[in-house]
Amino acid sequence: MDIISLTIMPIIAAFIVTFIFSKIYKNKVKVDHGFAFNYFGLSYRRKMIRTLYTFPISIAALVLLFAASLLSFRYLLFLLLITVIGFVIQFLYNYTMWKQEQNESPYQFQYKK
């Protein structure tokens, strides 16, 4: 298999799984305190927090990939750029949705604790 198909197939699988879980957890009660393993069961505030603490872990994994990879520097730099852009977009989206949800809600504590 070539490098493109090895990159595209996991991305397609991730989009399919994300779509399915988004539909399953759409109208469920979201967890805002304590530990929750499933990302889709979290409130937007908790998703934003999880994004913040998984970002350094992902960057460290990419640095290890840089060190142990035989791939070209351009390809690895492209992966790093896409990862950083993805995290920034995810953080901004979750922050915006959290603030919007906070402003629309008449109750301060609407999430399951």
**pLDDT tier for residue 107 given thresholds of 50, 70 and 90:** low
pTM of the model: 0.75
pLDDT at 106: 59
Kindly report, residue by residue over 78-100, the tens digit of the pLDDT.
Answer: 888 999 999 999 999 999 999 99
Best CA proximity match to 1, nearest among 22, 17, 9, 42: 9
Rounded to 10 deg, the angle between the 44-68 and 73-104 helix axes is 170
